[in-house]
Amino acid sequence: MKNHNLNFLELVESSLKNVRECDIHQVKANMDNGEDFLLIDVREDREWVQGHILGAEHLGKGIIERDIGNLVVDKEKPIILYCQGGFRSALAGESIKKMGYKNVFSMSGGFGDWVNNNYPVGKP
């Protein structure tokens, strides 16, 4: 785990009071069961091209607020965000909840846990 500034971790904890979490196993089960949800990778472009979860859309944390309206019109649709470890996705989740998206989740453990569990990964 990276040595994050305490203020950053406090910000993440604050975001998680407003954004529900789900773990990688729940996300994989949702995918396997054909659940209707949108999976969004909020990592940087360079991280996305190195590998991402199959079926995910890519809206980096720096642009998600600007571009999510083009991708998701239905603000009731379940959205699961993920990053490398679950911190940036929590922050992005809080931000899009403020924009009116109702069913927003952050995937705890992130892409790192996904890969460590040998779940399928794709490259563009």
- Whether 85 and 12 have beta carbons less than 8 Å apart is answered as no
Residue written as token pair 């659940």: 35
User: Hey, what are 96's tokens?
Assistant: 């899009």
83 is an active site residue? yes
User: Hey, what are 117's tokens?
Assistant: 């569990």
**What H or E segment, with its residue span, contains residue 32?**
helix 24-32
State the Cα–Cα distance between residues 11 and 28, nearest whole angstrom.
27
Q: Which entry of 59, 83, 91, 96 is annotated as an active-site residue?
A: 83
Residues labelled catalytic: 83
